[in-house]
Structure 1
Amino acid sequence: MSSEPFDDALLDDEEALAHADPALRGLAEAGARVRREAEAAKGVEQGLVGHGRPRAVVAVGADARLLRAVLEPWCPVPFVAWPGPGLPGWVGALDLVVVLAPTGGDAETASAVHDAVRRGTTVFLACPGESPLAEAGQGRDTTLVPAQTGDPLALAVVVLQLLHVVELGPEVSAESVAMALDDVASRCSPYADLAANPAKDLALVLAEALPLIWGGSVLAARAGRRVVETLRGASNRPALAADADHLMPVLEGAAPRDVFADPFADSEAPTLRPALFILDDGAQQPTIREARGRLLAAAESRGLHVRTLTWNEGPEVARYAALQSLGTYAAIYLAVGLGRYFPPT
């Protein structure tokens, strides 16, 4: 696949960056959105003390899979992230349904809420307080978490805090997540030039690559999938996030780099080659080290570019948020360098 022209001078060009300002501003305000959601949920936390343990937990809606990634290793009862519509047939009055609808939900989310209310299920409904979904979910067993910002990550972090209050998940600090997002925003600011900005530097590598993204931990893998979604929208190019077993055939199938090739022979439309991007959140289990070693060896044997994005500061959810934010900044700068307009995040 041939690449589009990428102009790295645009990454420090005021006019080009102005076109990306809505998306960049949205990322810069991510930490503030987490704090706003957490502040709005303080009253909800106080009302949850003393809730009994459900038979099982079902999560539906935006970022339900993030909840699963955090809760599955910890939750003392079965946990399911359900894509909808409706709910699994076994869900009943003994279970808890968690609904994440930061912008008010869609038809599938609404069907899950209607099912939950009809079955007498305990519901944590995270959505705007004045939305039709909130009205549909009203009931004796429904706890409303009033969404403020429309941000799926911010709302998911607050719901994770609430699930810790009822002893269904690990302790999650919204402030630690907000601080991590603020830190990424500072490092990746459009006012930080190419030499000092890790996201702009990463965009240079992405400009000449078909990205293969791997995260060793469950949360790093989840961040990789979210980054890939953003990269596809930014570049209209293929990008893949997967586990090591699925990436190995792609790496091994890449043609070895020709060390004698003329680097200027195809300068107008150079062919994009796979490149391996590793999201490192500090997890060091033996299985993660082994998988990383296999991927690195395969990439090296084909002469493929490898880049590691590391963020090992703070709790695990904060590390997840930081890696996702860093990758999203890089995707926006990739769009800037390609002369594309990227929609707000």
Structure 2
Amino acid sequence: MSVFDDARLDDRAALAGADEVLRRLASAGARLRREAGEALRATTTLADTPRPRAVVAAGAEARFIRAIVEPVCPVPFVAWPTHGLPGWVGALDLVVVLASDAAHAGLISTVHEAVRRGAQVVIACPGHSPIAEHAAGSSTTLLPTSTGDTLAAAIVALTAMHVMQLGPSVDSELVAEAMDKVAEDCSPSVETIENPAKEVALGLADTQPLVWGGSVLAARASRRVAEAFRAASGRAALAADVEELLPVLDAAAPRDPFADPFEDLGSADRRPCLVVLDDGNGDELVRSGQTRLLAAAERNDIRVCVIAHQSGSAVERYAALLQTGMYASVYLAVGLGRYHDL
């Protein structure tokens, strides 16, 4: 286990160890612009496509696609997490596949099955790849990808579904700008006192992360961010609903005012830190849940870190929350001296 050293967050030598992953985060907006530009011609061909009986989404970010599309989709929408397809899928249905990175055998099998059944297929994947070969057919539209960025590919697929009148309008340029703004605010050159991601990393220094997002999209982002915190710290990190987190907060041991801040604690002695992802959702249940969590944290003297992005479209806010959380995970690893594990 490692002891967190906050001096590393503004130390150029320490930050240099995470340069590669920080550069990839900083280029997220550029990757989205590239993917959107390369897929533009293929996307426009979908304008006159007949409305399908139902839509099935498979592959990376399928649940993200569902969260955006399902509330307004005029036909039934299913996110299918396992390989294969539901038994009812046939020639009247649309299968949307996201495979911007290396596709596993199960997803290739899903695509092959969709083509065999005669379903319409819209697939975001590299043009020259095994899954593209299995997807080839008269009812297939390929949205070419080249950066391996699953979120960028998902946004391209959302654009295609809007063209098909199955989902809301998504402005990829505005999403890219939101990503650029996070990259600017969370840049390694911005000192901790002004850097929201470094502040979150500092708050997580000696704690066990508990991550909460109230809306459907914020909850989706919370799971991704918790995964990143686990990888960065080697500690358990929980993303859960209000009712699951409240008992954990109330069970926290009282803070020891005489504890050595430089002591390397074991997991049993480490206190939780509540990380709230706030996308500005005004739903009464979401606001009530956040109020209950913050009250429990205050009652039990538990540290709270808030990542808030409340302007722009739902996709812009989701992307900004996710990117800020990812930056925070990198700085957490840097502070712990674990950047070589990224």
**TM-score under structure 1 normalisation?**
0.95
What is aligned with 2:170? 172
Cα deviation for residue 135 of structure 1 reads 1.1
Distance apart, 1:67 and its partner CA: 0.4
Which residue in the other structure is 1:236 paired with? 234
Give the aligned residue type for 1:166.
M
Structure 1 counterpart of 2:188, from 183, 187, 190: 190
Which range moves more in the overlay, 116-125 or 44-53? 44-53
Cα separation, 2, equivalents of 1:90 and 1:60? 15
Output the CA distance in 2 between the equivalents of 1:4 and 1:18: 19
CA RMSD of aligned residues (A): 1.4
Correspondence for 1:67: 65
Deviations 1:220-241 (A, max 9, x none): 1111111111111111101011
Q: Output the CA distance in 2 between the equivalents of 1:110 and 1:157.
A: 21
Partner of residue 258, structure 2: 262
Report the more deviating stretch, 246-255 or 208-217: 246-255
Please state how far the C-alpha of 1:198 moved relative to its aligned partner. Answer: 1.2
Distance (whole Å) between structure 1 residues aligned to residue 244 and residue 155 of structure 2: 30
Q: Which runs of 5+ in 2 are unaligned?
A: none
* 1:51-107 Cα distance to aligned partner (Å, 9 max, x none): 111111111111111101111212111111111211111111111100100024110
CA drift of 1:343 comes to 5.8
Task: Write the mapping of 1:1-345 to structure 2, written as runs, cut at 5 A.
Answer: 4-257=2-255, 261-264=257-260, 267-270=262-265, 271-342=269-340
CA contact (8 A) 1:234 1:342 kept: no
In structure 2, distance between residues paired with 1:88 and 1:342: 42
Q: How far, CA to CA, are the matches of 1:138 and 1:343 in structure 2?
A: 38
Contact kept, 8 Å, 1:104 with 1:132, in 2: the verdict is no
Contact 2:3 2:262 in 1 (8 A): no
Query: Partner amino acid for 1:26?
Result: R
Q: CA deviation at 1:342?
A: 4.8
Change (3 A) 1:307 1:6: same
Distance 2:146 2:87 in 1: 32
Cα deviation, residue 322, structure 1: 0.5
8 Å CA contact 2:277, 2:321 repeated in 1: yes
Are the equivalent residues in 2 in contact too, given 1:57–1:77 (CA < 8 A)? yes
Partners of 1:256 and 1:301 within 8 A in 2: no
CA contact (8 A) 2:2 2:337 kept: no
Q: TM-score, normalising length from structure 2?
A: 0.96
> Contact 2:83–2:107 at 8 Å: present in 1 too?
yes
Distance 1:221 1:16 in 2: 32
Higher mean C-alpha deviation, range 83-92 or range 317-326: 83-92
In structure 2, how many angstroms separate the alpha carbons of the residues matched to 1:155 and 1:250? 36
**Structure 1: any 5+ residue segments left out of the alignment?**
none
Moved over 6 A (4+): none
What displacement does 1:256 show?
3.4
Structure 1 CA distance, aligned partners of 2:51 and 2:328?
42
Q: CA deviation at 1:45?
A: 2.1
Aligned residues: 339
CA distance in 1 between counterparts of 2:151 and 2:336 reads: 28
Q: d(CA) in 2 for partners of 1:343 and 1:97?
A: 37
Q: In structure 1, how many angstroms separate the alpha carbons of the residues matched to 2:210 and 2:240?
A: 8
Task: Quote the Cα distance in structure 2 between the aligned partners of 1:163 and 1:89.
Answer: 23
* Distance in 2, Cα, partners of 1:253 & 1:227: 23
Identity of aligned residues (%): 56
Is the contact between residue 254 and residue 300 of structure 2 (CA under 8 Å) also seen in structure 1?
Answer: yes
CA distance in structure 2 between the partners assigned to 1:232 and 1:306 by the alignment: 18
Three-state SS of the structure 1 residue aligned to 2:210 is: strand
**C-alpha contact 2:43 2:143 (8 A) present in aligned 1:** no
Q: Supply the distance in 2 between the matched residues of 1:301 and 1:268 (Cα, whole angstroms).
A: 25
